[in-house]
Amino acid sequence: MDNSELDPRTLNNETSLGDSRLNNKVVTLVYGCQMSERDADTLTEITRRLGYEPSDDLETAALVIVNTCCVRESAENKILGKIGELKKLKERNSKVKIAITGCMVQQPGALERLQKRAPHVDIWAGTHNLHEFSSLIKKVERGGKVAEVWHEPKATLEIAPLPEKGKRHASVNIMYGCDNFCSYCIVPHVRGRERSRKPEEILQEIKSLVESGCREVTLLGQNVNSYGKEFSPTYDFADLLQEVDQIPWLLRIRFITSHPKDLSDKLIKTVAEGKKLCEHFHLPIQSGSNFILERMNRKYTREYYLSRVQKIHELVPNASLTTDIIVGFPGESEEDFEQTLAMMKQAHYSQAFTFMYSKRSGTLAAKMEDQIPLDVKKRRLQKLMSVQNQESLEWRQLMIGKLVEVLVEGPSKTNPQRLTGRTRGNELVVFNGPQEIIGSLVNVRINEAGSWTLMGEVEDFKKSWTFEFNAGI
Ligand code: SAH
Ligand code: SF4
């Protein structure tokens, strides 16, 4: 790939912004997980280096990018609806260019089907060739359409989006792909085999984010606990966390996702000892039944999972635990489902992301015969959600009266007069306070637990060293 295309110093508006453009606005829409969001930021960055300007207004856009997700059918349906709406946009404005990128396009055999369905799309690109997006745009600007999907990644080229000044949180990829092949999951099929980025590259990226004001990073990987398994000499995820923890002025470090089978004692100890490592583990259980876990190819039992939870509580007191759960996996009996409900009560999750099983073609589970009817899946999901809502509320109620450390993110979405931020355990807190404390760590006394958030009052923010430090930025 020609790196000069990505260097802002070689940016040439004359050649990259042809006369065919309406203006230079790009709108990026994103569906799916934080990795998909991170990829969408990379795409926006590539267009920015070509002279485009990020915008939210579809009507005046010269380029619309939709970075897609295919983890469940519901996501795909939403995206297909959006692609349909963009057809109408193109009818109103024939000059707008439309790019559809990412996981949905990467699925084996999907491109042809999608192209037939949406001939109005100008650029199709899969997950493995996103870094060459600038040359795809240039081709389309010269006229015509382009579709490119690589079957496997040829290089791991990281194009870090320019840190937005004042933005306190950023996601950083530490690895790509997944080798686990859980039987329900399309991710290994669209993201390829596991590849870890070099520690020095990751540390450098975080340091430059911190220099531009970032105070919290989330390290991203499908299974961060297997980070570095190909490295020699050995260097694992806990080693990486220990180094990130030393970066001056970084205040908080989070990571997702931890696969339970690879969660080592060393990692739990590292979180316990780290100054900036948040005491929060996102540890997807998927099911509480050993029979279903085996069919899911998760490679752990409920007993092993619970022993990991116990270890977390032993070494990291007050750690908060969140999870992902699938209901209605093929062959799931009422009894299997009951075991999932029991698991929820045993593990005391502060939050759970719950999903109905969705058949993904090309996966092992899609071929299983005993698929569960939709009405049963719906009923189980409702039940699971109501049990979890009660659990989450009880968890939040336990926090009433406690003083918690909050990194202030900005005005609350539901009430802009108030501020919002997150605890180390990743719980959302809403409170009153002056605008100057945005970006600082403050102590908040919790006085109320709502259905989704905690409410409280800031105590002594002027004593916070980060307040004084951030005031100088
Ligand atoms: N790598 C992460 C998860 C990535 S996908 C992990 O192993 O935990 C995010 C979540 O989507 C999964 O944890 C799972 O709960 C859910 N999911 C994945 N495939 C699904 C499918 N076919 N149907 C329903 N939910 C699914
Ligand atoms: Fe999917 Fe399993 Fe890999 Fe997570 S670990 S991305 S659920 S295959």
Mean pLDDT of 428-434: 93
Site to probe by mutation for ligand 1, drawn from 31, 33, 71 as the one with most ligand atoms within 8 Å of Cβ, is 71
Is there a single domain that holds both residue 77 and residue 183? Answer: no
If one residue of 355, 360, 367, 374 were mutated to test the ligand 1 pocket, choosing by the most ligand atoms within 8 A of its CB, it would be 355
Amino acid at 299: K
Which residue, 233, 255, 278, sits at the end of a domain?
278
Give yes or no: residues 177 and 208 share one domain: yes
| CB of 284 shorter than 6 A to ligand 1 | yes
Other C-beta atoms closer than 10 Å to the C-beta of 345 total 13
**199-219 residue pLDDT tens:** 999 999 999 999 988 889 999
Domain boundary among 355, 371, 398: 398
Residue 202 domain-assigned (yes or no): yes
* Ligand with the closest atom to the CA of 357: 1
Of all protein residues, the one whose alpha carbon is nearest to atom 10 of ligand 1 is 324
Distance (angstroms) between ligand 1 centre and the Cα of 265 equals 24
CB count within 10 Å of CB 415 equals 11
Helices and strands, number each (H, E), in the chain: 15, 19
- Same domain for 138 and 10: yes
Does the beta carbon of 358 sit less than 6 angstroms from any atom of ligand 1? yes
Confidence of residue 17 (pLDDT cuts 50, 70, 90): very low
| Average pLDDT score, the chain | 90
Do 10 and 144 belong to one domain?
yes
DSSP 336-405: HHHHHHHHHHHHT-SEEEEEE----TTSTGGG-S-PPPHHHHHHHHHHHHHHHHHHHHHHHHTTTT-EEE
Of the residues 69, 185, 186, 285, which should be mutated to test ligand 2's pocket, given the most ligand atoms within 8 Å of the CB?
A: 185
Using pLDDT thresholds of 50, 70 and 90, give the confidence band for residue 439.
Answer: confident
Using CB atoms within 10 Å of the CB of residue 92, give its burial: 0 to 12 exposed, 13 to 18 middle, 19+ buried. Answer: exposed
For ligand 1, atom 5, name the residue with the nearest CA: 71
- Which protein residues are within 6 Å of ligand 2, measured from CB? 178, 180-182, 185, 187-188, 222-223, 259
Residue 435, domain CATH: 2.40.50.140
- Output the DSSP codes for 289-340: -HHHHHHHT----HHHHHHHHHHHHHHSTT-EEEEEEEES-TT--HHHHHHH
Pair (349, 391) in one structural domain? yes
57 and 188, same domain (yes or no): no
Nearest CA to ligand 1 atom 21: 358
Is 104 strand, coil or helix?
helix
Question: Would you say how long the chain is, in residues?
Answer: 473
Report CA-CA distances (Å) from 128 to 157, 167, 193, 435: 10, 28, 11, 42
Ligand 1 neighbourhood includes 257 CB (under 6 angstroms):
yes
Identity of the amino acid at 193: R
Grouping H, G, I as helix, E, B as strand and the rest as coil, residue 254 is: strand
Residues 96 and 18 in one domain: yes
Q: Whose CA is nearest to atom 2 of ligand 2?
A: 182
pLDDT at 413: 87
CA–CA dist 258, 222 (Å, integer): 8
Number of domains in the chain: 4
Please report which confidence band the pLDDT of residue 88 belongs to, taking 50, 70 and 90 as the band edges.
very high
CB atoms within 10 A of CB 41: 21
Residue 15 in this model has a pLDDT that exceeds 60? no
Q: Give nearest CA residue, ligand 1 atom 24.
A: 357
319 Cβ contact list (under 8 Å, min separation 6): 271, 279, 280, 281, 312, 313, 425
Q: Give the ligand 2 atom nearest the CA of 178.
A: 3
250 and 354, same structural domain?
Answer: no
For residue 274, give Cα distances in angstroms to 59, 244, 252, 253, 271.
48, 10, 10, 9, 5
Q: Do 236 and 224 meet the contact criterion of CB atoms below 8 Å apart?
A: no
pLDDT, residue 21, reads 46
- Tell me the CA–centroid distance for residue 89 and ligand 1, in Å: 33
161 belongs to a structural domain: no
Q: In what order do the strands lie in the sheet with 146-148?
A: 53-54, 25-30, 63-68, 97-102, 123-125, 146-148
Q: Are strands 63-68 and 25-30 parallel, antiparallel or unpaired?
A: parallel
Q: What is the pLDDT of residues 136-174, one digit of tens each?
A: 999 999 889 999 999 888 765 567 776 666 678 899 999
Nearest ligand atom owner, CA of 70: 1
Inside any domain, residue 156? no
Q: Position of tokens 């970006």?
A: 439
Residue nearest to atom 4 of ligand 2 (CA): 222
Kindly give the distance from the C-alpha atom of residue 282 to the centroid of ligand 2, in angstroms, as a whole number.
Answer: 13
**pLDDT (tens digit, 9 = 90+) per residue, 267-313?**
999 999 999 999 999 999 999 999 999 999 999 999 999 999 999 99
Domain boundary among 278, 297, 332: 278
Gap from CA of 223 to ligand 2 centroid (Å): 7
243-247, 428-432, 437-441: least confidently modelled range: 437-441
Is the same domain home to 230 and 126? no
Q: Report whether residue 405 contacts ligand 1, using a CB cutoff of 6 Å.
A: no
Domain assignment of residue 110, given as a range: 3-148
Residues 22 and 95 grouped into a single domain: yes
Average pLDDT over residues 387-398: 94
Alpha-carbon distance 76 to 31, whole Å? 9
In a domain, 61, yes or no: yes
| Tens-digit pLDDT profile for residues 451-468 | 789 999 998 776 665 665
Distance from the alpha carbon of residue 168 to the mean position of ligand 2, in angstroms: 29
What span, in angstroms and rounded, lies between the C-alpha atoms of 226 and 372? 32
Same domain, 293 and 373: yes
pLDDT of residue 6: 38
